[in-house]
Chains A and B, each alone.
Chain A
Amino acid sequence: MNDTTSARNLAQARDDAWIPSSCALCYGSCSILAHRVDGVVVKIEGNPESVVGKGRLCGKGVSGIMTHYDPNRLTRPLRRTNPKKGLDEDPRWKEVGWDEALDEIAERLRRIRADDPRKLVMQRTTTVTASRTPMQTFAAAFGTPNLSTAGGGLHCGNGAHLLSGMMHASWSVVPDFAYCNYAIYFGASKGHGAGHASASLMAPAADARARGMKMVVVDPMCNFAAAKATEWVPLRVGTDGALALALCNVIVNELGMIDAAFLQAKTNAPYLIGPDRRYARDAVTQKPLVWDGAAGAARPYTDAIAADMALEGEFEANGVRCQPAFQKLKDHLTKFTPEWGEGVTTVPAKNIRRIATEFAREARIGSTIVVDGVTLPYRPVAAIAFRGAQGHMNSVYNFYAIDLLNELVGASDVVGSCLGFNPACNGYPETGRPRYVPTAGPDGLMVVGMWMGYHFPYPIGEPRMPRNLGLQDLFVMGMTSPFLDSDDQEEMWEKFQLGYRPEMMLNFGSNLLMSIANREAVARSLAKYAFMVSIDLYETETTRFADIVLPDCSYLQTVDSRSNFPFIFSGPPGMGEWCWPIRQPVVPPEGEQRRFQDVLLELADRAGFRADLNAAYNASMKLAPQHRLQGERRYSYEEICDAELKSNFGPERGLDWFKKHGLMKWPKQPQEVYWRPFVDVRVPIYWEFMVSLADRIDAITAPRGLPLPREYYQPLPDFLPCHSHACKAPGFDFTAFYYRDSLHTNSFTMENPWLDEAARLDPFSYAIAVNADTGAKKGLRDGAMVWVETETGRKVKGRVHLTQTLHPEGLGIAACAGHWGDGMPVAKGKGVFFNELLELDWKHASPVNLNLDLCARVKVTLAEGGR
């Protein structure tokens, strides 16, 4: 044996492998290849075989190796010995064994479940998408409806997801980059920042811009999306809806450029509205009536040809004068003139007219295109929104008004238009799974085919005296609720005679103290729990309120069969391929770390509800009959993943097959991506259901001293100001808002030293951005240390960065920084804790969807020695 052979054999004996898996540095969950050498992960790259990320990986994903190997990660279960809980209380941890910890938790669970399972509150982080199914199934099996995602939803999605679901049957919306020619972004960064399908969309967005797609970004700040846009439209914080309404008015009343055929066939625009603002209904079938121009009579919408349905005019039906919903909308829009819009938003009226004209003209109403041999409507424009536009008191109307732009010109889930993320899937060809498609619900309006939870956007639930701590069963359009943590939670629970109080919290990875609002309010609510368990990677600020802490595995140590499912969440929209990747262990746990999914299974065994948990997995994963989990059998999470994969892809493609191949792909068909022409559903351009919904909620709230603010429950969108717009106190002349830094995910990644270094080099990440001209007028210099203070005295301190890329009235802070705990020492003291400025109560939440108002009027003063 010569030296060369010896070296080759040595190399062959070495562990050297590229493992296909999924990232978890943000909820985009891009596909990765992790390079492991001799048991050590040495590099992480994007997986070019996968559609999710398409081989690209952002800076966070590449840096994941530093999160995994962070010496500050938890490795042992911990038990609190200090009974006092508070922001300044030391938990005085002692290490305990897993058996002791699990026994204590299981005993609590058993007792609470026998007493009233609703006393268990489950919280999970949105960063780890893979936590959704295990946490939802555990909650369902246990019997608690109280599951929340901390700041997720309250900040990012109560409006965006509600509206995307209602109008596009998906969790979010995005331009169809391959064909879109004109996109308006309202406070969104799709394809240019973090989050949903982030890396997957970067190349399509860049290619679209290179191809000539005009991109107009409406945002108080010119950052991730606006910096790459054709045009940045700065506007006053929280006024996106006003701009959208003015644009709609120009399109409808000045230009008259609408897609009448779309409105007739695919919306409720032709439904007749009576003087009571409700549908005129057929006396026999109770179906909404339309005016059938061919018959010269009012007929149920199912009985008339769409082309014959009147959109404008006034008609008599059921003995009263009625108008089509579109006529109502058209008349309603007249008050939102561009000049009015300029006054509210500061966007010049001439620009509003120009943008509206460009949008309507580029929509090419009436045109078609052939994609893969299928003739389809072609509307290459899109208006999209996300966190920036929807994160306010007027969250619902903002998003509603913005989406009307799409609906008016028929740019909805067709070629080039505003697309939902994969609302319809015909399934893997060999099995037909997973298969879902929107369907027609009450009054012919669209019901999603797939959703992240089970609180569908439509049909709207029936309000009732609440049984949930979050009161979402009363405020039925709400998703994540502030009342799990709010200052007025007890007042609200008493008001609505809630017959129990929370007793135990089971938290997976969420740092509530940082992700919701001011930390004092959240701390008070956390301290009330008699018992709290936190499954974490680190000792976060929130972990320090726990009684027992369990060390979790990182994403490089765990397994998940559905790292990118449902496709409505982070699957790349548009044509291409369906792709189902998995997450698999690259390296084993260290110390006593355990996978949280297996910990939840173990707790169910010890607390005696494994049969319920198996049933919940069967239902949640929709397992095929031959792969359903049986009785009380103790499956590992790997076995459950194996069952799901075999259920969807056949018995020969279980977890072992996926560990080898990493993912399954199959081609998308035009009828799936551009499903709207092929499915007989309508979407509401007139929200008739709001009228009676407000009556029914008010019937419960008003007698209890909480009259419903009816202006939020109108069938057509309006502009309603935020509290910050109403503040006239002298000196409070900035509106503070936060934005998502593309370098960081929530409060999680500030601990990552590579990302922290990048953020320290970035002039914005850890600073307070102020318009340079405004700053100069106030005597602020770049780098000055200042206090930012609200009218109620909440304040944060930070260093000013002067910039021209900000609206003159705005004050921008990258969230969610400003850690103060010792458990994440790299993150500690970095950046500004914006959420400290936010109030957390009914008054500062949308009375429709419970979204928090995320802007605050502030004054800025130099800190001592600030110059």
Chain B
Amino acid sequence: MEVRWDAVVDKSGFWAGPSRAEATAPAALAPVSVELWLFGTLAGAAPERPLTLRFGGPVRMGDVLAALGRRCGSEFLDKVISPGGSLLKHCRVFVNGEPAEDPAAWVGAEASPARIEMILLTAAEGG
């Protein structure tokens, strides 16, 4: 008997992501302070480390990157974001120590100021 490939796929969600807190906007509308630590080649883009940014309310990582772009210039954004708007794979961002890849993710809910670290890992490698 021939069995279709997709017929054997189990729907148990084996590869479903680990449980994470619901990605909703923080309830409070209090101003958010973000402390940005830029490392490696990104460090030269900012006048000081850390760079502190303040926002009037809840903020997504994409908002932080946009604000950074305004402060540091388009060349900075070219290094971290693809033309499609996603974070480049070799740009690593950590929010309060946790990896963050989605520009739509909220930041600043757990700690104030939120600590964001960014570094470019070296892209090309053979062997």
Q: Are A and B part of the same complex?
A: yes
Chain B residues near A478: list those with CB within 8 A: 124
Query: Interface stretch among B4-12, B24-32, B51-59, B65-73?
Result: B4-12
Chain A residues near B22: list those with CB within 8 A: none
Q: Known A616-B119, A679-B15; judge A141-B126 contact (CB<8 A).
A: no
Contact indicator B43/A612 (Cβ below 8 Å): yes
> Which of these, B3, B37, B89, contacts A366 with CB under 8 Å?
B3
Confirm or deny: B82 has a beta carbon within 8 angstroms of a beta carbon on chain A.
yes
Q: Known A442-B84, A619-B94; judge A143-B40 contact (CB<8 A).
A: yes
Chain B residues near A678: list those with CB within 8 A: 9-10, 14-15
Specify the chain B residue showing the minimal Cβ separation from A462. B83
Contact indicator A147/B119 (Cβ below 8 Å): no
Contact indicator B123/A307 (Cβ below 8 Å): no
Contact indicator A677/B123 (Cβ below 8 Å): no
Specify the chain B residue showing the minimal Cβ separation from A627. B97
Specify the chain B residue showing the minimal Cβ separation from A379. B5
Chain A residues near B127: list those with CB within 8 A: 27, 126, 132, 149, 152-153, 156-157, 452, 480
Contact indicator B90/A455 (Cβ below 8 Å): yes
Most A C-beta atoms less than 10 A away, residue of B84, B119, B126: B126
| A-contacting residues, B107-124, CB 8 Å | 117, 119-124
Majority SS at the chain B contact face: loop
Contact indicator B122/A139 (Cβ below 8 Å): yes
- The smallest C-beta distance from A139 to any residue of chain B, in angstroms, reads 4
Chain B residues near A137: list those with CB within 8 A: 121
Q: A261 vs B1: C-alpha distance in the bound complex, in angstroms?
A: 14
- Residues 371-391 of chain A, each 1 if its beta carbon lies under 8 Å from chain B, else 0: 000111100000000000000
Contact indicator B15/A453 (Cβ below 8 Å): no
Confirm or deny: A306 has a beta carbon within 8 angstroms of a beta carbon on chain B.
yes
Q: A849 vs B78: C-alpha distance in the bound complex, in angstroms?
A: 23
Chain B residues near A306: list those with CB within 8 A: 6
Q: A758 vs B84: C-alpha distance in the bound complex, in angstroms?
A: 56
Contact indicator B3/A616 (Cβ below 8 Å): no
> Which of these, B15, B37, B126, contacts A148 with CB under 8 Å?
B126
Q: Known A262-B5, A625-B97; judge A152-B126 contact (CB<8 A).
A: yes
- The smallest C-beta distance from B98 to any residue of chain A, in angstroms, reads 6
Chain A residues near B39: list those with CB within 8 A: 140-141, 611-612, 615-616
Confirm or deny: A164 has a beta carbon within 8 angstroms of a beta carbon on chain B.
no
Contact indicator B119/A615 (Cβ below 8 Å): yes
Contact indicator A149/B125 (Cβ below 8 Å): yes
Chain B residues near A462: list those with CB within 8 A: 82-83
Q: Known A136-B122, A442-B84; judge A377-B117 contact (CB<8 A).
A: no
- The smallest C-beta distance from B99 to any residue of chain A, in angstroms, reads 7
Confirm or deny: A671 has a beta carbon within 8 angstroms of a beta carbon on chain B.
yes
Q: Known A141-B40, A374-B10; judge A615-B97 contact (CB<8 A).
A: no
Specify the chain A residue showing the minimal Cβ separation from B14. A671
Contact indicator B122/A259 (Cβ below 8 Å): no
Most A C-beta atoms less than 10 A away, residue of B1, B89, B99: B89
Confirm or deny: A190 has a beta carbon within 8 angstroms of a beta carbon on chain B.
no
- The smallest C-beta distance from B85 to any residue of chain A, in angstroms, reads 12
- Residues 448-472 of chain A, each 1 if its beta carbon lies under 8 Å from chain B, else 0: 0000111110010010000010101
Chain B residues near A611: list those with CB within 8 A: 39
- The smallest C-beta distance from A516 to any residue of chain B, in angstroms, reads 11
Specify the chain B residue showing the minimal Cβ separation from A307. B4
Contact indicator A375/B8 (Cβ below 8 Å): yes
Specify the chain B residue showing the minimal Cβ separation from A442. B84
Most B C-beta atoms less than 10 A away, residue of A132, A154, A265: A265
- The smallest C-beta distance from B120 to any residue of chain A, in angstroms, reads 6
Q: A156 vs B14: C-alpha distance in the bound complex, in angstroms?
A: 35
> Which of these, B43, B117, B122, contacts A453 with CB under 8 Å?
B122
> Which of these, B8, B82, B89, B117, contacts A454 with CB under 8 Å?
B89
Confirm or deny: A80 has a beta carbon within 8 angstroms of a beta carbon on chain B.
no
Q: A117 vs B119: C-alpha distance in the bound complex, in angstroms?
A: 15
Q: A424 vs B15: C-alpha distance in the bound complex, in angstroms?
A: 9
- Residues 421-463 of chain A, each 1 if its beta carbon lies under 8 Å from chain B, else 0: 0001010000010010100001000000000111110010010
Q: A266 vs B7: C-alpha distance in the bound complex, in angstroms?
A: 12
Contact indicator A472/B44 (Cβ below 8 Å): no
Contact indicator B8/A154 (Cβ below 8 Å): no
Contact indicator B124/A455 (Cβ below 8 Å): yes
- The smallest C-beta distance from B49 to any residue of chain A, in angstroms, reads 8
> Which of these, A154, A376, A612, A677, contacts B126 with CB under 8 Å?
A154
Q: Known A117-B41, A472-B123; judge A618-B6 contact (CB<8 A).
A: no
- The smallest C-beta distance from B102 to any residue of chain A, in angstroms, reads 12
Q: A505 vs B53: C-alpha distance in the bound complex, in angstroms?
A: 38
Contact indicator A259/B121 (Cβ below 8 Å): no
Confirm or deny: A410 has a beta carbon within 8 angstroms of a beta carbon on chain B.
yes
- The smallest C-beta distance from B2 to any residue of chain A, in angstroms, reads 3
Q: A250 vs B10: C-alpha distance in the bound complex, in angstroms?
A: 33
Specify the chain B residue showing the minimal Cβ separation from A127. B127
Specify the chain A residue showing the minimal Cβ separation from B82. A462
Q: A307 vs B99: C-alpha distance in the bound complex, in angstroms?
A: 38
Q: Known A259-B5, A462-B83, A628-B97; judge A140-B119 contact (CB<8 A).
A: yes
Could you tell me which A residues sit within 8 Å of B by CB distance? 27, 117, 126, 132, 136-137, 139-145, 147-149, 152-154, 156-158, 161, 259, 261-262, 264-266, 306-307, 365-368, 374-377, 410, 424, 426, 432, 435, 437, 442, 452-456, 459, 462, 468, 470, 472-473, 478-481, 611-612, 615-616, 618-620, 622, 624-625, 628, 669, 671, 675, 677-679
Given pairs A140-B39, A376-B8, A678-B15, 16 additional interface contacts (CB within 8 A) = A117-B41, A137-B121, A140-B122, A148-B124, A262-B5, A306-B6, A307-B6, A366-B3, A377-B5, A454-B122, A459-B82, A462-B82, A479-B124, A480-B126, A612-B119, A616-B121
Could you tell me which B residues sit within 8 Å of A by CB distance? 1-10, 14-15, 18, 37, 39-41, 43-44, 82-84, 89-90, 92, 94, 96-99, 117, 119-127
Chosen A-B contacts, 16 in total, with CB atoms closer than 8 Å, are A27-B127, A136-B121, A136-B122, A140-B119, A262-B5, A377-B3, A452-B125, A454-B90, A454-B125, A472-B123, A478-B124, A480-B125, A619-B117, A671-B14, A671-B15, A678-B9
